[in-house]
Amino acid sequence: MRGPQAFALLDRAFDLGIRAFDTAAIYQLGGSERLIGEWLRRTGVRDRIYLISKGGHPSLLGRARLGRRDLERDLQASLRRLRTDYLDLYLLHRDAPGTPLAPIAETLRAFVAGGRIRAYGVSNWTHERFAALHALAVSRGMSHPIASSPQFSLPQWVAMPYPGCVSIGGSAGAGALRAYRTAGAAVLAWSPLGSGWLRAPGGRARSRAYRGGDNDARHRRLTALAERIGCMPAQAAVAYVLAHGSNLHAIVGTRRPERLAELQGAVELALGPEQLAWLADGRGRSAPAAGSRTAS
């Protein structure tokens, strides 16, 4: 999406009260940041939004890029493309397990101290590595990470969509969810709708990560529950993510302005524990009672 259509979509999001915008240096090789930067210049709303971007993505040859020089280059380039002198939240886009954390923490501390970022976090890091970075920063009196962005959705991965990704979906992710709640860290869940899974289940999903397996049954249960409680399946899918804690946030994307209002409606839809369990693994004989729009 380019030009007028993209600006119209951003305008619509802002008009709906959406104030957090997520992008990354790697998206469209900087094109996403340039577009948002031009929109910010045209509208003059920079001080009214929460701007998130990411750096430190591995090179095309797979070289880790978490050193001071690489992160400095990425941050400066992002600020230039976004036409701003600071980011509200800066995320390290990938981890390189085994890389010493102290130099990373010191680099990010310097970014915060210099005013170029207000806060930082990580994307596609395990919760154990997040916890280690957090503990190190706290022990040294440094700025500590406040957010982590793993994949999380009702459909669960059957294959990793991109190298170096981390998901906290399913029973295996329960420990990560507890750890982030305990740490008071925000979880920015990416791909909460399963990358087209809602539109094409049964092996036809656009992303192979969600094709087949138990996800087909989850799709049927989601459709049945949405019908019972009077909402759209996409709203129920986003509400599923948000119901796992007040620290959960869903990163949604669409090319259609009308979808923004639909997805925003998920914020008002609260699912109870029985509904969450039934959606995830079918516990219980049928969809829980209709009409639940308040958490039980």
Tens of pLDDT, residue by residue, the chain (296 residues): 667 899 999 999 999 999 999 999 999 999 999 999 999 999 999 999 999 999 999 998 899 999 999 999 999 999 999 999 999 999 999 999 999 999 999 999 999 999 999 999 999 999 999 999 999 999 999 999 999 999 999 999 999 999 999 999 998 899 999 999 999 999 999 999 998 888 866 555 567 889 887 999 999 999 999 999 999 999 999 999 999 999 999 999 888 888 898 888 899 999 999 999 999 999 876 677 654 443 32
Q: How many CB atoms lie within 10 A of CB 1?
A: 14
Q: What is the CATH topology of the domain spanning 150-296?
A: TIM Barrel (3.20.20)
Q: Domain boundaries in the chain?
A: 1-147, 150-296
Q: What one-letter code names the amino acid at 147?
A: A
Return d(Cα 43, Cα 138) in angstroms, integer. 38
Q: How far apart are CA 161 and CA 222, in angstroms?
A: 23
The one-letter amino acid code at 176 reads A
Q: Name 11's Cβ contacts closer than 8 Å, sequence gap at least 6.
A: 39, 43
What does the H/E/C string look like for 116-179?
CECCEEEECCCHHHHHHHHHHHHHCCCCCCCEEECECCCCCCCCCCCCCCCECCCHHHHHHHHH
* Tokens of residue 263, six digits: 């997805």
Q: Is 102 helix (H, G, I), strand (E, B) or coil?
A: helix
Measured CA to CA in angstroms, residue 38 lies from 82, 143, 214, 296 at distances of 7, 30, 43, 44
Residue 1, C-beta contacts closer than 8 angstroms, at least 6 positions apart: 9, 255
pLDDT digits (tens, 9 = 90+) for 109-123: 999 999 999 999 999
Between CA 202 and CA 207 the distance in angstroms is: 12
Distance CA 19, CA 233 (A): 24
Q: Looking at the domain 1-147, which fold is it? A: TIM Barrel (3.20.20)
d(CA 44, CA 139) in angstroms, rounded, equals: 39
Domains 1-147 and 150-296 share a fold: yes
DSSP 87: B
